[in-house]
Amino acid sequence: MTELINPATEEVLRSVDHLDAAAVDDAVRRAQAAQRRWAALAPAERAAALRAFAAVVDAHAGELAALEVANSGHPISSAEWEAGHVRDVLHYYAAGPERLSGKQIPVAGGLDVTFNEPLGVVGVITPWNFPMMIASWGIAPALAAGNAVLVKPAEWTPLTTLRLAELAVEAGFDEDLLQVLPGEGAVVGERFVSHPGVRKVVFTGSTATGRKVMAGAAGHVKRVTLELGGKSANIVFDDCDLELAAATAPAGVFDNAGQDCCARSRILVQRNVFDRFMELLEPAVRRVVVGDPAARDTEMGPLVSAAHRDKVASYVPDDAPVAFRGTAPTGRGFWFPPTVLTPQRTDRAVTDEIFGPVVTVLAFDDEHDAVTLANDTAYGLSGSVWTDDLSRALRVTRAIEAGNLSVNSHSSVRYSTPFGGFKQSGLGRELGPDAPLSFTETKNVFIAIKEAP
Ligand code: ADP
């Protein structure tokens, strides 16, 4: 059992029972039976079921958002967007069952066709930063491809995911088809990895735990998709709209209080505009509205837990090179103000993923230096390039080793486009048109044609 704490008030919300490995084994057995029933439905029936699920999520979007505000401290405007995103992801992948059409391949002597067969039972292990959204990225395409899904939410933030499973049943789903199993990573998560009946594990979390999942999965040659850490660069060239780059840089890193693997947590600024950029950035950082996540105008809430706040704070010791900071409430709640550092290139604040509202700003000399700095990390998830020179934008985005780049903006997650990392930021891609395929095996069938008599 674990007690859930509201990160903005430190009040106990409720407690949730943690399951053991035997409960996972039982869930896998029931999911295997439910998967066979689900896969036997006509594609149009599975599509209709996913659309019905989306409609029930839509009808409960306000409730899901309020739960995320209380459990995770997300600002209400963000939490509402997240609930709407879950609905949209379900809608988008509702088209999947009728579009996994395989191929007909020309061969001699017969007909050759491919089928996209479901894997069976899929395990989805989610982190605490975007609980319901990240769960939906696994749930929707895996179901669309004919699989059953087990989800293990992060220990601190299980409430919206538990509610999603109830809403699926309300929409008419078999209760064993989508099961949410709260518990510890080392118990429930590890059992997903070690159970031979779980055919794929989709893991989102830290790179250290992702490595363990991948190593464990190797024992069964189990499929994995990994979405891991990031330390993304926001590169500001001297020919860009500097006002806009500075005005949007805070949202690019402080969204969700920096607890975002896509956070642009290293701002790299061309040396000849560095001072001007910092002058423009300071008021933008001070303007970030940090406070009660239930308030409509709040832009940034608290950190998720006391332990996480302590970890973030360790990156800003008393002698840290703080350029300026925003504000944050004092008193109860796990608050941390937006903080801008100007350290040396080798400082651990520049190299480690902090996962909090701390950003470093470094100067670079030219395009080559910018790309070298941006790639000087084990991670490769996202990044932004600010320039009005189209050729430069293309040269630099092609040279950066990262999966999700944006030019003159900080967008990275759209359900209709692929999302994932290079290098130690992960393996495989989620979202986008091809996601259901990553929950299938390709089967090739050759049918011989007899010679005419
Ligand atoms: P954090 O983001 O808290 O540093 P982790 O990468 O450890 O997190 O956690 C992400 C998810 O992985 C959580 O749901 C957590 O419970 C789970 N997890 C932790 N350890 C393991 C493990 N050894 N095997 C599988 N899942 C794990």
- Radius of gyration (C-alpha) of the chain in whole angstroms: 23
What is the C-alpha to C-alpha distance for residues 25 and 198, in angstroms, rounded to an integer? Answer: 10
- Please tell me whether the overall predicted TM-score, pTM, comes out greater than 0.95 for this model: yes
Q: What is the CA(269)–ligand 1 centre distance, in A?
A: 34
pLDDT tens readout for residues 357-370: 999 999 999 999 99
Catalytic residues: 227, 261
Ligand 1 atom at shortest distance from the alpha carbon of 152: 14
At 307 the pLDDT is: 97
At 26 the pLDDT is: 98
Please determine, for residue 412, whether its predicted confidence score (pLDDT) is greater than 80: no
At 322 the pLDDT is: 98
Q: Which amino acid is at 322?
A: V
Share of the chain above pLDDT 70, in %: 100
Would you say the CB of residue 2 lies under 6 angstroms from ligand 1? no
Q: Enter the tokens of residue 164.
A: 């999603």
Which CATH code of 3.40.50.300, 3.40.50.1000, 3.40.605.10, 3.40.640.10 fits the domain covering 2-228+425-445? 3.40.605.10
Please determine, for residue 406, whether its predicted confidence score (pLDDT) is greater than 80: yes
Would you say the CB of residue 206 lies under 6 angstroms from ligand 1? yes
Would you say the CB of residue 183 lies under 6 angstroms from ligand 1? no
Q: Whose CA is nearest to atom 17 of ligand 1?
A: 185
Would you say the CB of residue 212 lies under 6 angstroms from ligand 1? yes
Please determine, for residue 390, whether its predicted confidence score (pLDDT) is greater than 90: yes
Would you say the CB of residue 198 lies under 6 angstroms from ligand 1? no
In this structure, which topology does domain 233-407 adopt according to CATH? Aldehyde Dehydrogenase; Chain A, domain 2 (3.40.309)
At 218 the pLDDT is: 98
At 109 the pLDDT is: 97
Q: Whose CA is nearest to atom 13 of ligand 1?
A: 154
At 283 the pLDDT is: 98
Share of the chain above pLDDT 90, in %: 99
The residue ranges of every structural domain in the chain are: 2-228+425-445, 233-407
Please provide the average confidence, as pLDDT, over all residues in the chain.
Answer: 98
Q: Which residue has the tokens 């002698």?
A: 319
Ligand 1 pocket: which of 125, 161, 424 to mutate (most atoms within 8 A of CB):
125
For 22, residues 6+ apart whose C-beta sits below 8 A from its C-beta are none
Q: Which amino acid is at 137?
A: W
Beta strands in 32-126 (DSSP E): 104-105, 110-118, 121-125
Would you say the CB of residue 395 lies under 6 angstroms from ligand 1? no
Q: Enter the tokens of residue 428.
A: 């495989």
pLDDT tens readout for residues 8-42: 999 999 999 999 999 999 999 999 999 999 999 99
Would you say the CB of residue 213 lies under 6 angstroms from ligand 1? yes
Please determine, for residue 108, whether its predicted confidence score (pLDDT) is greater than 80: yes
pLDDT tens readout for residues 197-232: 999 999 999 999 999 999 999 999 999 999 999 999
Q: Whose CA is nearest to atom 11 of ligand 1?
A: 127
Residue 291 banded pLDDT, cuts 50, 70, 90:
very high
Please determine, for residue 315, whether its predicted confidence score (pLDDT) is greater than 90: yes
Q: Whose CA is nearest to atom 15 of ligand 1?
A: 185
- Coil, strand or helix at 142: helix
In contact, 204 and 400? CB cutoff 8 Å: no
Please determine, for residue 1, whether its predicted confidence score (pLDDT) is greater than 90: no
In contact, 120 and 147? CB cutoff 8 Å: yes
Overall average pLDDT of the 225-250 stretch = 98
Overall average pLDDT of the 251-272 stretch = 98
What is the C-alpha to C-alpha distance for residues 216 and 148, in angstroms, rounded to an integer? Answer: 21
At 411 the pLDDT is: 81
Q: DSSP secondary structure string, 145-158? A: TT-EEEEE--TT--
